[in-house]
Each structure stands twice: as C-alpha cells, then as structure tokens.
Amino acid sequence: MSVETLNVIIALVKIILVVYVAMMVTDLILILAERRISAFIQDRLGPNRVGPQGILQPLADGLKFLLKEEVIPNHVDRFLYLLAPAIILTPALMTFAVVPFGDQITTYIAGHLVTIRFQIADLDVGILYIVAIASLGVYGLVVGGYASNNKYSLLGGLRSSAQMISYELPMGLAIISVVMMTGSLRLQDIVVDQFGMWNIIRQPLAAIIFIVAAFAETNRLPFDLPEAEQELVGGYHTEYSSMKFASFFLAEYTNMITASALIVTLFFGGWHVPFLHQANLPVLWEQIIQILAFVIKTGFFLFFFIWVRWTLPRFRYDQLMNLGWKALLPLGLLNIVITAAVMAL
Amino acid sequence: MVATILFYVFAGLAILGAVMVIAHRNPIYSALSLILTLFALAGIYVLLMAHFIAIVHVAVYAGAIMVLFLFVIMLLNIRIEEKAPGAFRYMILIAAPMVVILFYELATVVFKAFSRAPVKQTNVGSVESIGNALFSQYVLPFEVTSVLLIVAMAGAVYLAKRRLNTVKE
C-alpha cells in the first residue's frame, strides 16, 4: 500500500469518525440533554421512561421521525421544498472539517511513517472557510420558508436571513481581532498561539461579541425569532413533517456543536491543557487527554447554549436589530482599533 | 486523474447553472442556479490550489445573492412572472444561429490565446501571497477601493434617509 492510498484512507476514517459518528452521537445526546435540562430548569421530570433515566429517548424520537407519515402539502413548490432540508444540513456538516480537535501523532501504519493530524483538513484559510460555508446555511431556511408557500414560513425565512446577515458582521469583526493577534487564519496556528495565554484573557470583548453572535447565527434563544412559536406557529419548518422536519433540527444541533467548538478553538485554547507538558506523560496519553479536554470544553459550551435557552426570554425584533447594528458592530470595530493600537505599541 | 474528473464535474455544474439562470422562468430558481454556478467555479479554484480565492468567492457571492434572493421574494410577483409568455417567442429563430456563431468565435479566440491549460501554482492563491501583493504592490488601489465602498455606503444611507424625511413632511 502506498503512502498516498494510506493518507486517503486515514482522511476517510477521520471524516466518518468525526462527522458521521461523533457529531451524530453528540446530536442524539444533545436532544436528550436539551429535554432533560429544560425539565430540570422548569422543575419538571422530563423524559425518563425509555431506558434508564431516559437514555434511549433520542433513539425513540428518531424512530418516531422515521416511521411518521410524510405529508407534502399540495400548495408547495415541490422541488425547492424537497431541496431545502438538504441545503441546510450539508453546510452544517461541512463546517466542522477545519476545526482541530487535537494535536498530531506520528506512527507506523503498514510499514509507513505517517503523521495523523487530529483535524480533517488543515486549510490555510481555515476560519474563512467556516465563515463562508456557514453563510450558505441561511439559504436552507429561506428556501424552505419560500417553498412552503405559507406566510408564517416565509416570515420565518425572511427573519432568519436578516438576522444571519446582521450578526455575521460582528462575528467577523471578533474573528478579525483574534486573527490579528495570531497572524494566521489557520485554526491550528490559532490554538498554538494560545499556549501562553488563552484568548479569553487577551480578547475578552471579542469573546463576548463572538458568543452573542454565535447564538444568533445558530438561531437559538434568545435570538430564535425565525421560529418564534407564539408569533409564527413554527417558522420556516411549519409545513415540514417526519424526517425532513427532523433534519432542520439536526442542522440546528450540528451548527451548535460547530459553534461551541469554534468558541473553544478561538477563545478557550482549543485542545490545549495548561501545564500538561510539565507532567511528562507518554505522547499517546498526552494526545488523548488533549482530545478529551477539547470534548469537555465543547460540551460545556453546548450545555451553556441549552442553559441560556431555558433561562432568557426572547428578544423583540427591533431589539435584536438594535443589539446587532448599534451595540455589537461598533464594539467590534472598537475592539479592532484597540487591538491594533496595543499591537503597534 | 481524480482532478480531471472533478474539473469536468465542476465545469459541467457551472455551465448547467449558468444556462438555468437565464432559462428558468422563476427568478428564485435563477438566483439559486447562480449560486450553483459560483460554487462550481469555487471548486475549480480549489483544483487550481487557490484556496483563498475560492473561499472569498463563496463568501462574497453567497451574501450578495442572498440579498438578490430577498429582492426577488419581496419585489417581484413570482406567480405573474412564471405565467408570463416569453416576450421574444419568435426571436429564438434568429437567436439560435447567432448564439452558435458567437460561441464559435469566442471559442476560436480563447483557444488561440490560451492554448495551454493554466499552471497550478501553489503560491499564487494562498493567503500570504495575496496579502503581500495587496499591501505592497497594490496598496493604493486597495485603499482607494475601500474609500469608494464607504462613499457608496454613505450615498445609499443618504438616499434612503432623504426619502424617509419627505414622507414624514
């Protein structure tokens, strides 16, 4: 087996393990976590009947989605209606490709010395790739809203487009100040740059802006205007049923995972564990601990997403726009100016 | 080998999208086909190792077409647009030969000028080389462009605000 074939196989294994196994399992855990944590916050019990403590509830939910009758209303634009769930799910699964979830190990496989990076693709445009692909996700919502041919769906789609375009700007500005400190768009370099001090200490304002914008970009409360139940019935997915309905939620949870992983990578040191080097552990143990650290940090922010959702009420639409354009955008610009001034001194 | 196959896939998608943009009656489909074309072009840029250009291509045009999309939804009456008969129904008899001649001419010129395939240069499309070029050789055009964009933004705000004032009075 040649080295090229081996590298292709390693890349495929990474894609399958990370995108299809790790992310889908995390999606399932998130569904259960959301229901149980919301129940805890609202002083209820939550689903606890299927399996011990309700562990098998997500499987029951998934089975229900698969077996439900699929209703395609007559008044929809059929082609776009069927296309929308695919448009929204594909970018959600693509964005995780450049997030580093560990360092790298060099080992012998089938007689070849290969370096396995714990990252699917190490692009030199890293963070820009995520911004570009994530901005494609909004098409799924708008196309779904338009194709449903329903005024509530359309309103949800239009709201989501305005919201995502507005909050991409402060998000980009927060990313720019991090990139200015690092001098590289490559996410692995951004992690390595934080070995001395995490960016949350060096760039606290950028971290806050980024986290707020991440909530808006993933359409989560307090910014879930596109699917505000009280006003819009259900928003852009009102007319969808069974697995197509589920794929909108799958995309939302997948985007949440990527957003949490990005918050960790940009501001909380990625897979870096402070003082781990001084412990002089074997290389393999060190790598495993680093990957676990990345998983735990990401898990905390996933919990944070759920925690915020069930604690804060929803914004009104004008408040949402005011926060984005009149508060976050000037703060982001100010942060860039301050960062540049400090770096020039 | 794989790169060649991918090139033909992306090229085919780009042409399909481009034809759909002008051929489809529904402007929503036209806007979506435009994304398909631009996405396929980004794929070709990636094949030429110009990752930065590919990503900027997607980022810029995805946002721009989203706005176009919203204009289509809000300003055009799509049901009427869809049912409207082609205004130039008999023009196709003249247009088809013209298209053949035009594309024949274009093809001859292009094949004469670019008889060899573009060379994959690993450093032209990278972040470093574009950054270096923008901030050294092309620094004046770059800064002038930013001023131009600010002027355009200020102009847009002024035009929108002026109309609001007259409505109030």
Whole-complex ipTM: 0.77
User: Could you list the residue range(s) of the whole structural domain that residue B168 is in?
Assistant: 139-169
Query: Domain check: are B102 and B143 in the same one?
Result: no
Give the C-alpha separation, A41 to A286, whole Å.
37
Kindly state whether residues B116 and B60 are assigned to the same domain.
yes
Amino acid at B108: T
Tell me the shortest Cα–Cα distance from B54 to chain A, in angstroms: 9
Chain B residue with CA closest to A87: the answer is B32
Mean pLDDT of chain B: 81
Q: What pLDDT is recorded for position B101?
A: 93
Q: What is the mean pLDDT of residues A276-287?
A: 79
Are B78 and B147 in a shared domain?
no
Is pLDDT above 80 for A171?
Answer: yes
- With an 8 Å Cβ cutoff, the interface of chain B facing chain A consists of 28-29, 32, 35, 51-52, 55-56, 58-59, 62-63, 66-67, 69-70, 73-74, 126-128
Measured between beta carbons, the chain B residues lying within 8 angstroms of A146 are: 28, 73
B-chain residues within 8 Å CB-CB of A140?
Answer: none
B122 with B153, same domain: the answer is: no
**Cα distance between residue A104 and residue A117, in whole Å:** 4
Which residue from A minimizes the CA distance to B126?
A124
Specify whether B58 is located in the same domain as B24: yes
d(CA A32, CA A25): 11
Please give the single-letter amino acid code of residue B46.
V
Domain ranges of chain A: 72-98+123-344
Helix (H) or strand (E) holding B52: helix B51-75
Of the CA atoms within 13 Å of residue A268, those in its CB half-sphere come to 20
What would the DSSP string read from start to end of A200-211? Answer: HHH-HHHHHHHH
Q: Indicate whether B38 and B10 sit together in one domain.
A: yes
Taking the Cβ of residue A11 and every Cβ of chain B, the question of whether any pair is shorter than 8 Å is answered with no
Q: What is the pLDDT of residues A238-259, one digit of tens each?
A: 778 778 888 888 888 888 998 9
B133 and B64 housed in the same domain: yes
pLDDT tens-digit series, residues A303-329: 998 888 888 888 888 888 888 888 888
Taking a C-beta distance cutoff of 8 angstroms, is the pair A121, A98 a contact?
yes
Q: Where are the strands (E) in A98-239, listed by range?
A: 104-109, 112-117
Residues of B in contact with A161 (CB under 8 A): 66, 69-70
Binary contact (A132, B69; C-beta < 8 A): no
Does this model's pTM top 0.80? My answer is yes
Is there a single domain that holds both residue B102 and residue B155? no
Mutate to test the interface with B, among A185, A186, A187, A189 (most CBs of B within 10 A): A185
**Same domain, yes or no: B58 and B126:** yes
3-state class (DSSP) for residue A80? helix
Q: Is residue B64 domain-shared with residue B11, that is, in the same domain?
A: yes
Asked whether A211 and A341 are in contact (CB, 8 A), the reply is no
What is the per-residue pLDDT for B105?
92
Q: Between chains, do B52 and A125 touch, taking CB under 8 Å as contact? A: yes
Q: Which CATH number belongs to the domain containing residue B32 in this structure?
A: 1.20.120.1200
- pLDDT band at B149; cut points 50, 70, 90: very high
Across the interface, which of A128, A138, A146 has its CB nearest the CB of B66? Answer: A138
Contact A125 B35 (CB under 8 A): no
Residues A215-241 as b/e (b if ≥16 CB within 10 A, e otherwise) read bbbbbbbbbbbbbbeeebbbbbbbbbe
CA distance A297 to B138: 42
The answer, yes or no, to whether residue B167 has pLDDT greater than 70, is no
Question: Between residues A211 and B84, which one has the greater pLDDT?
Answer: A211
Q: What local confidence, expressed as pLDDT, does residue B87 receive? A: 59
State the Cα–Cα distance between residues B97 and A201, nearest whole angstrom: 67
Mean pLDDT of B29-54: 86
Residues B105 and B57 in one domain: yes
3-state secondary structure of B117: coil
Let me know how long chain B is. Answer: 169
CB contact under 8 Å between A146 and B73, yes or no, is yes
Tally the domains of chain B.
2
**B147, pLDDT greater than 90:** yes
Percent of the residues in chain A that have a pLDDT greater than 90, as a whole number: 2
My answer on whether B19 and B85 are in the same domain is yes
Q: How many CB atoms lie within 10 A of CB A82?
A: 13
